[in-house]
């Protein structure tokens, strides 16, 4: 899981119980950092897709992490990740 996604989860926390649930959930994943290479790639993705797809910097960084680690992205927001070959929308 992207460290950017971790920030997104905590940005929506409503209370201590929900924070405990998120912490338990996060224990299931390896948290992938943003490196200089990923930051550069994320900036390039943002620049290329901001007008066409409305991609913000956070989503561009998440896409770059997915590309860098050759991983499949699972998201509810497929629109911002059309540049990726493998995107799973769970429902």
What are 17-58's pLDDT values in tens digits?
A: 999 999 999 999 999 999 999 999 999 999 999 998 899 999
CATH fold for domain 3-88 = Rossmann fold (3.40.50)
Find the farthest-apart pair of alpha carbons in the chain and give their distance in angstroms, rounded.
40
Packing angle of the helix pair 3-11, 57-68 (nearest 10 deg) = 140
- Our CA angle for 79, 36, 67, nearest 5°, is 35
Q: What one-character DSSP code corresponds to residue 30? A: P
Residue 1: both structure tokens together = 């899981």
pLDDT category at 76 given cuts 50, 70, 90 is confident
pTM of the prediction?
Answer: 0.87
**Is the separation of the CB atoms in 87 and 81 below 8 Å?**
yes
User: What is the pLDDT at residue 38?
Assistant: 98
């Amino acid at each position: 899981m992207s460290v950017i996604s971790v920030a997104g989860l905590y940005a929506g926390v409503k209370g201590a119980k929900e924070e405990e649930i998120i912490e338990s959930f996060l224990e299931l994943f390896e948290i992938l950092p943003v490196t200089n290479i990923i930051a550069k790639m994320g900036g390039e993705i943002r620049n290329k897709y901001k007008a066409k797809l409305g991609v913000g910097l956070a989503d561009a960084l998440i896409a770059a992490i997915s590309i860098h680690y050759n991983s499949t992205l699972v998201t509810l927001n497929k629109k911002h990740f059309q540049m990726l070959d493998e995107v799973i929308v769970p429902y």
